[in-house]
Amino acid sequence: MGSNSERLVRIGVARDEVEAAIWRDALEREGVAVYVKSADPLSSFGVAPLPGSLHLFVLAHDEKRARWILGDLNASA
């Protein structure tokens, strides 16, 4: 069984693919691995995901740092 720091935690829900991409790029530039998962079942068929259905996950040990990065990004917008 993996350690607690290897589990994924959700850090946000993006409104659309553009917002998810901006957040993912900002986190990856800072060395934080990101997993984006669509909660919309039709997105697996190539249909654009519904607004608010893109969930961003990071490893538990990166959670605080990721939230800080996204908070800083939102504050500068």
Q: How far apart are CA 77 and CA 49, in angstroms?
A: 24
Asked if 56 contacts 36 with a C-beta cutoff of 8 angstroms, the reply is yes
Provide the domain limits for residue 50.
Answer: 4-76
- Give the per-residue pLDDT at 68: 94
Total of domains in the chain: 1
**Tens-digit pLDDT string for the chain (77 aa):** 566 768 999 999 999 999 999 999 999 999 999 999 987 666 655 666 667 789 999 999 999 999 999 987 665 55
Q: How far apart are CA 45 and CA 24, in angstroms?
A: 22
